[in-house]
Amino acid sequence: MITKEEVHNALELIDKYKIQESNLIKELQDKSIRQKDTRSLVSIGLKTREINALASADIYTVGDLLSADRSQVILYRNMGRGGIRKINKALEDDGIVTAHFSLYGGHYRY
């Protein structure tokens, strides 16, 4: 007989697998966009402050930005929550569907 705990553990495992697969799909989508998108950050409407903060981490194109670790961008020098919001909005306004950059280091937000 299967116990409630075993069912609960199985459901948790399935949920973790779904999240892992979702992250993998997004990563693959991001990788294909990154390989093709050589536009400058200005082209998606980012302002000087965000561009300079990203440049300090060697991010100069939209492809570079999409390949950046989403949980680490908030930790870049001179990058705050406002800058992260502007980046997420600029990507969204440009029609780029991707995982949002995290407002808190170490966590993804979809």
- pLDDT digits over 74-109, tens only? 889 899 899 999 999 999 999 888 888 888 765 444
Q: Is residue 37 part of a domain?
A: yes
Q: Is residue 76 part of a domain?
A: yes
Q: What is the pLDDT of residues 54-71, one digit of tens each?
A: 999 999 999 889 888 888
Q: Is residue 107 part of a domain?
A: no
Please name the amino acid found at residue 81: R
In terms of residue numbers, what domain contains 35? Answer: 4-93
pLDDT, position 82: 92
Q: Is residue 103 part of a domain?
A: no
Q: Is residue 70 part of a domain?
A: yes
For the full predicted model, state whether its pTM sits above 0.85.
no
Q: Is residue 109 part of a domain?
A: no
The domain tally of the chain equals: 1
Q: What is the 3-state secondary structure (H, E, C) of 5-47?
A: HHHHHHHHHHHHHHHHHHHHHHHHHHHHHHHHCCCEHHHHCCC
